[in-house]
A and B are shown apart, each in its own frame.
Chain A
Amino acid sequence: MSKKTNKYTVSVYTEDSVGLLNRISAIFQRRHINIESFNSSMTEIESVQRWTILILTTEVQIKKIVGQINKQIEVIKAYYHTDEETIYQESCLFKIKSSLLFDDRQIQNIIKESNALIVTVNPEFFVIEKSGRTHELDELYEKLSNYGILQYVRSARIAVTKAPLMISEILTDFKKNKNE
């Protein structure tokens, strides 16, 4: 297996449990691996949470880490995927001085071309939102940073996988085995 560092999206299906995050983050901390971004959300299954964790590491490491995540009691199942194996999005907000919108028409073109949305405009500032893949957000940031950005914030990555994950099946199997 290659020692090359790569971006991995780790998807963890969990029970809704206080303290589990601590347990999972300790697994990364022990190996000195930074979490690039982290998102926790509800899922298509009631009372099941999904964590999406973006990690930069080698495949050798990520395999071991996901193995150790999987053995935590409240983890239903954890997976790792490369960018190619997922459909992912991130989103970001830019707060920019309103005067710039009128002083420099070029900004309007940038917004239009990037498919960003204007969330709000008031006399002092306006806020635009952009969702997309990492590089698309990077490009927009690059362009707008020339004009001065008052505030910039970016969300964690969220991702769905191209392949099915079968979480419902895992949970149904458990129920079936228990009833047998």
Chain B
Amino acid sequence: MSKISGSEAVIKCLLEEGVDIIYGYPGGAIMPVYDELYKYQDKIQHVLTRHEQGATHSAQGFARISGRVGVAIATSGPGATNLVTGIADAQIDSTPMVCITGQVGSHLLGSDAFQETDIIGISTPITKWNYQITKASEIPEIFAKAFYIAKSGRPGPVLIDITKDAQFEEFNFSYKRINGIRSYKPTPIINMDQIKKAADLINKAEKPLIVWGQGVILGNAEKEFTDLIEKSGIPAAWTILGASAIPTDHSLNVGMLGMHGNYAPNVLTNECDVLIAIGMRFDDRVTGDVNRYAKQAKIIHFEIDPAEVNKNIEVDIPVLGDAKETLSKIIPLIDKKSYKNWLDQFKKLYKIEYDKVIDGELNPSKKGLTMGEVIKEINFQTKGNAAIVSDVGQHQMVACRYANFNKSKSNITSGGLGTMGFALPAAIGAKMASPEREVVAVIGDGGYQMTIQELGTVFQTKAAVKIVVLNNDFLGMVRQWQQLFFDKRYASTEMVNPDFVKIAEGYYLKAKRVTERKDLANAVEEMIKSDEPYFLEVVVEKEGNVFPMIPTGSSVSEIRLS
């Protein structure tokens, strides 16, 4: 067997794991790996982002739309620290990602060498696992572990730091994928007693409500989930990361949970008799005040991560396991039923929300454009088949509330961390993973400027993402809170913005600005019909608010419509 360098081994490991695209930015301590990437460019595409944060978000977008592991690569020091936001985002949103960082030579470790940073120490609390390689011979086993850990059980980010000498060192390479680590239990063993207890409780329920999250999507359990709700007849509501697991227009889909979610599922969370949580973690944005959350209900929690059970909400029946397995085991035990009166309550409350909020947002008669009517137009032009990648803020809540999804893995957004700047690079990654799909990034003027440099990546790769900036010249969500809770003291939320169209044109992208309602439909149509990347700025009303809203500290049933 002939010897190869550690850096070539890195590429071979990636190929063994089926990686054909990675996102990154070169620099001193990772140069040997880049040299090999050059040699292997026919097998692995390297996408040069304009900032390492962009590389992580692109890898996340890639992972979220495809279910595959996203890969980001950077150099030591600032290259590595620039990955941190994306890693933290992937950790809290359970996104499978492997990050590779170069590190100074092992003889320099701990000496404050040029571009040395303790990225292992820094990334420890925000990774599922991390490891520093100082010898080339460690590379195959560590990469095999990294990919296995990133994608198994509850997925998450893994970081591998490789010293420069290990990249140069030569050794005999052989690779073996792994399917187990003795100290790691990715998927709990299913307890049939718990499943039976859960089934009994569900069958006896009179006003049951299902609340589901991303676990359904990560577990590829969309079919089982659909079978469960259709057989049981139970209305189901989603967290923003769970969105798109079933089509928006499914008759049992009763809408979005949480702070800016729909009126009916929030109010009725506090009226149901059995609450069935599936693959969600009772985030505070979903529960509102936990002391007044579904107190009247018995709670069943289907969950893969035992640490999530009873973490935020005490539950009556935990059902541990992978959603695909637990759901397929419980379906035969569930009685076929329907809950007409109970569903009517959802319809009644939806009507109230429609009259007070939705109608005005989607069919406005006021002068300024609303964010909702833009999303409605995108729905119309894409027939609900697009993947919507949203950033963070008002536009995100509007996009999640009003976007139509026909297909799973279509709502890509930064949920847990709330990372402004996520959408543009994530959309690039999503489009590259699924070039056949329409990928529309919906971004606010604030978040857009946090990673606006990734327009360079769009231009260089020609990734045909459609970029919609909803511009209100404000950090809108913060402004809304200032209006409601800080007596309209708009501290540092008003933005003096550049000419976004000119900037896009500077990157040779097709670009348009819409300021009038009459021009919106044509502009969205032109954008969707374009085979190339396209930038559309829509100037929306300056001080629009997102409602409904559960103010911090309030109960879900205290959701405000205005």
A interface, CB within 8 angstroms of B = 14-15, 18-19, 22-23, 26, 30, 63-64, 67-68, 70-71, 73-76, 171, 174-175, 177-178
Contacts and interface: CB of A to CB of B under 8 A. Distances in A.
A26 B125 contact: yes
26 contacts: A15-B182, A15-B183, A19-B121, A19-B124, A19-B130, A19-B131, A22-B124, A23-B125, A26-B124, A30-B125, A63-B310, A64-B307, A64-B310, A67-B307, A67-B309, A70-B307, A71-B306, A73-B128, A73-B149, A73-B181, A73-B183, A74-B183, A75-B183, A174-B182, A175-B182, A177-B180
Contacts of A171: 182
A14 B182 CA distance: 10
Interface of B: 120-121, 124-125, 128-132, 149, 180-184, 305-307, 309-311
Nearest to A66: B307
Given A30-B125, A67-B311, 16 more contacts: A18-B132, A19-B120, A19-B121, A19-B132, A23-B124, A23-B125, A26-B124, A26-B125, A64-B311, A70-B306, A73-B129, A73-B149, A73-B181, A73-B183, A74-B183, A174-B180
Contacts of B120: 19
A75 B128 CA distance: 12
Task: Count chain A CB atoms within 10 A of each CB in B129, B184, B310 and give the residue with the most.
Answer: B184
Nearest to B121: A22
Given A19-B130, A73-B183, A67 B124 contact: no
A149 to B, nearest CB: 37
Contact of A76 (B183, B306, B309, B311): B183
Contacts of B131: 19
A66 B128 CA distance: 16
Instruction: List the 5 closest pairs (A to B, CB-CB), nearest first.
Output: A67-B307, A174-B182, A26-B125, A76-B183, A73-B129
A74 B305 CA distance: 16
A71 to B, nearest CB: 5
Contacts of A177: 180
A28 B125 CA distance: 11
A175 B181 CA distance: 10
Contacts of A18: 132
A74 B182 CA distance: 8
Nearest to B128: A73
Contacts of B181: 73
Contacts of B311: 64, 67
A174 B183 CA distance: 9
A174 B184 CA distance: 10
Nearest to A174: B182
B291 to A, nearest CB: 13
A63 B318 CA distance: 15
Contacts of B307: 64, 67-68, 70-71
A157 B195 CA distance: 41
A100 B232 CA distance: 82
B38 to A, nearest CB: 32
B247 to A, nearest CB: 33
Task: Count chain A CB atoms within 10 A of each CB in B130, B183, B310 and give the residue with the most.
Answer: B183
A12 B120 CA distance: 22
A74 B130 CA distance: 11
Nearest to B149: A73
A7 B260 CA distance: 41
A21 B131 CA distance: 13
B162 to A, nearest CB: 15
A74 B149 CA distance: 11
Given A19-B124, A22-B121, A23-B124, A14 B306 contact: no
Contacts of B132: 18-19
A163 to B, nearest CB: 20
A51 to B, nearest CB: 13
Task: Count chain B CB atoms within 10 A of each CB in A14, A18, A30, A174 and give the residue with the most.
Answer: A174
A12 to B, nearest CB: 11
Nearest to B305: A71
A143 to B, nearest CB: 43
B113 to A, nearest CB: 19
Contacts of A63: 310
Nearest to A21: B124
B220 to A, nearest CB: 21
Contacts of A14: 183
Contacts of A68: 307
Contacts of B306: 67, 70-71
A76 B125 contact: no
Nearest to B314: A1
A67 B276 CA distance: 22
